C-alpha cells in the first residue's frame, strides 16, 4: 500500500488498535493464472496465546482467522504461502464546504492497515481441538468487545458439530503499512473545521473519524 509521508501512523499502536477495533479483514492471496487472486472477508483476532507489545511494523505478531471450507479460497491456501490481510477503520467523505476556503477539492478521509505475512492452515482432521480453540478465542474476543458477554458453554457441542466445515488458520505477520489519512495536509484551522464537522454528525463513522483526528499530534 502506498502511504504518503503525512499519512503514516503516528506510532505502531495505531495499527494494532485499528486491527483490534475493526476485525473484519479482507484476506487476499494469489491463485492460478486462470483463477486470478482470491479475496475473502473474514474475522481475524490477535492470537491470545501471544504476549508482549507488538513491534512498530507488527512483524512477529500472530493472528487467527477462519473461513468456510466450501470456499474455493480455502482449497487454494497453502501453509507457508504469503498473503495479505487488509483492515479498514473509520472513514468519511470531506466536502469542500467544510473548508470555508476557495479553491478547494473534495476528498475522503480514511484509515486502513495492510498486513503481510504467511499462512499456516490448521487442519481439522489432525488438529480438531486447535481449530476449535480458534473459534472459541474468536467468540471470547468479540463478545468481550462487541457483544453482551454471551456464555458459549452450552453451544460447544454445536461448535464441534459444525467444525468440519470451518477452515481455521494462523497468520504470522512479516510487516504492515498503516494509512491514516486525516486531513494532515491541511492547515491546522481547516483540519479543525473538518474534525468539528465530523464530530457533530449523527453517523458513527464520522464521529469515529473525528475522534482519531483529535488524537493527531
Q: pLDDT tens, 66-103?
A: 999 999 999 999 999 999 999 999 999 999 999 999 99
CA distance 145 to 23: 11
Cis peptide before 114 (omega within 30 of 0): no
Tens digits of residue pLDDT in 9-64: 988 799 999 999 999 999 999 988 888 899 999 999 999 998 778 999 999 999 99
Each residue's pLDDT tens digit, 121-160: 997 656 788 999 999 999 999 999 999 999 999 999 999 9
pTM to 2 decimal places: 0.94
User: How far is 207 from 198, CA to CA, in rounded Å?
Assistant: 6
The candidate with the shortest Cα–Cα distance to 27, out of 92, 137, 108, 121, is 121
Q: How high is the pLDDT of residue 33?
A: 83
Q: Give CA separation, 201 vs 21, 93, 101, 179, 205, in Å.
A: 21, 12, 21, 23, 9
Q: How far apart are CA 166 and CA 181, in angstroms?
A: 36
CA distance 22 to 13: 14
Q: What is the reported pLDDT for 126?
A: 61
Rounded to whole angstroms, the Cα distance separating 124 from 167 reads: 7
* Grid cell in block for residue 163: 467444525
Amino acid at each position: 500500500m502506498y502511504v504518503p509521508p503525512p499519512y503514516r501512523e503516528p506510532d505502531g499502536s495505531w495499527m494494532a488498535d485499528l486491527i483490534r477495533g475493526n476485525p473484519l479483514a479482507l484476506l487476499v492471496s494469489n491463485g492460478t493464472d486462470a483463477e486470478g487472486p482470491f479475496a475473502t472477508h473474514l474475522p481475524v483476532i490477535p492470537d491470545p496465546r501471544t504476549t508482549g507489545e507488538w513491534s512498530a511494523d507488527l512483524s512477529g505478531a500472530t493472528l487467527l482467522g477462519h473461513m468456510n471450507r466450501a470456499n474455493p479460497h480455502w482449497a487454494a491456501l497453502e501453509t507457508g504461502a504469503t498473503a495479505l490481510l487488509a483492515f479498514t477503520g473509520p472513514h468519511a467523505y470531506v466536502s469542500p464546504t467544510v473548508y470555508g476556503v476557495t479553491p478547494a477539492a473534495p476528498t475522503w478521509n480514511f484509515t486502513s492497515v495492510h498486513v503481510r505475512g504467511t499462512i499456516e492452515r490448521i487442519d481439522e482432521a489432525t488438529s480438531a481441538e486447535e481449530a476449535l480453540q480458534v473459534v472459541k478465542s474468536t467468540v471470547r474476543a468479540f463478545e468481550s468487545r462487541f457483544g453482551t458477554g454471551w456464555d458459549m458453554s452450552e453451544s460447544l457441542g454445536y461448535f464441534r458439530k459444525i467444525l468440519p466445515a470451518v477452515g481455521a488458520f494462523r497468520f504470522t505477520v512479516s510487516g504492515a503499512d498503516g494509512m491514516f489519512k486525516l486531513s494532515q495536509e491541511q492547515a491546522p484551522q481547516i483540519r479543525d473545521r473538518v474534525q468539528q464537522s465530523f464530530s457533530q454528525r449523527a453517523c458513527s463513522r464520522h464521529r469515529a473519524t473525528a475522534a482519531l483526528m483529535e488524537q493527531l499530534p
